[in-house]
A and B are shown apart, each in its own frame.
Chain A
Amino acid sequence: MKLHSARTRSYIRPKRTILLAAVTLTAALTLAGCSAGSSDDSASSTGNPGGIPVKMGILGPQTGAYAAFAGVGELQRGYELAADDFSKKYNINFTDEVVDDQSDPAVASRAVQTMLNDDKIDVLLGPATSGSALQIASVVQSTGRPWLSPSSSADNLVDMSIQPNWLFRTINSNAMAANVVGQYLYANNAKVGLIYSTDAFGQSSLASMQAYAQKAGKDLAVEPLAAGAPDVSGAIQRLKDAGVNSLYITMSNGADIAAVTKAISDANYKPNPMVATGQAEGPEYSNVASPSDWANLKIVDSRDLTSKPVQDLAAEYKAKYGSPPSRLSTVANTYAAVQLYMAAVAKVGSATNYEAVRKAMEDITDFSSLGVDFGTPFSPTDHDLFDADPSKWFLQALDPNGNLISTGSVPQG
């Protein structure tokens, strides 16, 4: 009898444990799945009820490697802020669909086909990263749908040999940045180095800087770094030993820029100038780095993020979402992109006449956004909002409290 009892227990207990495991796993999966991972996560509406209906598709990482620092959130919030501010003026009523590309270009490619063909979006916003944007480019161009890209800076993304061209970019390209920063860094015959991330953004930055250096007949020392690399001191020591005294840091992630500047500080290495891309402008950098790490750091951007209109947008963002933007430049660029699109739809009177909307975006004149007068932002041969004129670019820095301060336009050597 005792033996039977023991056997019964040993039979039942594993089943109960498996049941416990299954219930726990299911509950956890349900919780985790509430807001991420699927390709048709959420749909909501915002704007002017009764206005011109527009279905906005927003694509970017909510999960995967880039979700932590280049997530879809800033695109969505920039769009919502623009919709709040302009939907009445342009009489637009948005419905939107936010889709997770899982930080994977292949997933982005599948997702965008569903968005275009099944979900019938009228306009695509995103993806947030260059890798995914490059992957979906041919699909969107061949389908023919207005496409707004406020955060993908890869040079070959905007290819104006493709006509009609559906992509409108409201962030500077890496080549523009290389042209502006290159003139600054190479002043006084400095020995220039580049630290770049080994992803699509970093590779594109490398190609742009190498092209600039080659054209200018200059040398460029380069060091690639993987995102989240545990220690970067070897790369820093190589640059120091190579005599690099003018440094450009192009990493996808502010935390990685923090690792670089911390290693520079620890190595008592003082490149001057030391310039980083906009990823260092916000808390993803300043939350990790120390004031001594950024004392010598300049942040280059095609926008003056310290201007009153942009700071007002940041305040609006904080009031609406409860925390400051992690990437203010992405929010501002998204805001401008949606504002441009709304103006074009209002002019056409419909969002579904895609060719007319595309043409209207090319024909917009007297456009200003967030205090910047862009005049004629696009043309049939130019779909980039920004250009490589150094006088229109800005250098910014962080004060000891981590707040962004302006140090003026980019000086040229």
Chain B
Amino acid sequence: MLQQILTGLLIGSLYALIAQSAVLAYMTTRTINFAVASVMSASAFLALALAPFDWLTTPGRIAIVAILATAFGAVLFRVGVAPFSGSSEHDIRWILSLVALGLVFDDLILNSQGGQVHRLGYATIPGTLTIGDVTLSNQLILIGVVSVSIIGIIELASRYTGIGLRMRAVAEDRGTAELMGIRTNRIRIGSYAVGMIGVSIGAVLWSAQVGVSPALGSPLLLASFGAAIISSFTSIGGVLVGGAIFGVVTQLSSYIFGSAIGQVSGLILVILVLVLRPQGIFGKRALEKV
């Protein structure tokens, strides 16, 4: 049982690392990046393309991938969201736009790179760590440490830096923030871009474990959105809790009731949260003046 709980916590941290991008985007733009799975696949293939450059260290390669993914995130916002957001709360063209862009990039990756799964060959710590009866994959432990670190840094930056203050101001009330002289569009585009740092690093570390393929991101997308729904779309650090709950519930359910139940248990939990506490664990209930 302890084995499943610890594995669930580690896999949940990966969900959280992807979920933080959704939270950052939602807080400042009230949109969700539905193309994030494509960013993951693109990041993994980019990391694969850098594999032959032996003079680059592993952190150097990952940094290049993260920088380019950041630019990709900014472009996604500029092309897929900015033209359609802001005119009205009810304008949902950005959803279609992001989904379409995601499909286009998936197709581009598939047709340019082929469907085969490739070995990344770096950014991996082989082997396992055994403590008593519990055996954990070293790579999952690495992913857990990196996820907590990145999410922690973003959370601290949002609380204690000037940019973080401006971001929270935009999240609170974009109109007022604009009147205060904050360049809200820069904050919004920055949120999309910064979110991609964690997504791309998560993609590289995960692809080192499961291989680089066009289908890399899709299986993680629902779980990461689930983690954000459980914790709240307004709490950056909270996604670690949301991811942990999602990961542990699916792991334990798989072990106790079998994989068929385990694979849907996380989604059932998400539905329960949506029904019973739609704002999530860390979200505030929105009060409306009548």
Contacts and interface: CB of A to CB of B under 8 A. Distances in A.
Interface of A: 14, 17-18, 20-21, 24-25, 28-29, 31-37, 63, 65, 67-69, 71, 73, 198, 223-235, 237-238, 254-255, 258-259, 262, 266-268, 283-284, 287-288, 290, 326
A283 B259 contact: no
16 contacts: A17-B78, A20-B78, A31-B108, A36-B111, A63-B107, A68-B117, A71-B115, A73-B115, A224-B259, A228-B219, A229-B263, A259-B210, A268-B130, A283-B117, A288-B210, A326-B115
Interface of B: 3-4, 7, 11, 14, 78-80, 82-83, 97, 100-101, 104-105, 107-108, 110-111, 114-119, 126, 128, 130, 135-137, 209-211, 213-215, 218-220, 223, 250-255, 258-260, 262-263
A229 B108 CA distance: 24
A9 to B, nearest CB: 14
Nearest to A234: B254
Contacts of A224: 258-260
Contacts of B220: 230
A228 B218 contact: yes
B137 A266 contact: yes
Contacts of B252: 234
Nearest to A282: B116
A55 B101 CA distance: 36
B14 to A, nearest CB: 7
A68 B215 contact: yes
Contacts of B210: 255, 258-259, 288
Given A36-B111, A230-B223, A283 B258 contact: no
A305 B104 CA distance: 37
B107 A36 contact: yes
A235 B255 CA distance: 6
Contacts of A223: 258-259
B78 to A, nearest CB: 7
B104 A255 contact: no
B105 A28 contact: yes
A226 to B, nearest CB: 5
Nearest to B14: A230
A226 B115 contact: no
A284 B100 contact: no
Given A17-B78, A21-B97, A255-B210, A287 B83 contact: no
Given A18-B83, A234-B251, A234-B259, 6 more contacts: A25-B100, A231-B7, A262-B209, A287-B119, A288-B211, A290-B126
Nearest to B130: A268
Given A223-B259, A231-B251, A235-B254, A20 B117 contact: no
Contacts of A65: 215
Contacts of B79: 20-21, 24-25
A17 B82 contact: yes
Given A34-B111, A231-B7, A235-B254, A266 B117 contact: no
Give 9 closest A-B pairs by Cβ, nearest first.
A234-B254, A288-B211, A32-B107, A68-B115, A228-B219, A234-B255, A28-B104, A255-B117, A287-B119
Contacts of A14: 83
Contacts of B263: 225-226, 229
Contacts of B251: 231, 233-234
Nearest to B116: A326
B49 to A, nearest CB: 16
Contact of B4 (A17, A25, A234): A234
Given A25-B100, A67-B115, A283-B117, A230 B219 contact: yes
Contacts of B211: 255, 258, 287-288
B252 to A, nearest CB: 8
A19 to B, nearest CB: 9
Nearest to A286: B119
A283 B119 CA distance: 9
Nearest to A254: B117
B259 A25 contact: no
A75 to B, nearest CB: 13
Nearest to B97: A21
Contacts of B214: 67-68
Nearest to B87: A14
Greatest chain A CB density within 10 A among B100, B105, B219, B253 is at B219
Contacts of A267: 135
A63 B111 CA distance: 9
Contacts of B260: 198, 224
Contacts of B254: 234-235, 238
A69 B115 contact: yes
A318 to B, nearest CB: 14
A333 B175 CA distance: 65
A337 to B, nearest CB: 22
B39 to A, nearest CB: 15
A224 B95 CA distance: 33
A198 B7 CA distance: 23
Greatest chain B CB density within 10 A among A230, A255, A262 is at A230
A76 to B, nearest CB: 13
B117 A287 contact: yes
Contact of A284 (B82, B117, B135): B117
B117 A288 contact: yes
Contacts of B97: 21, 25
Contacts of A18: 83
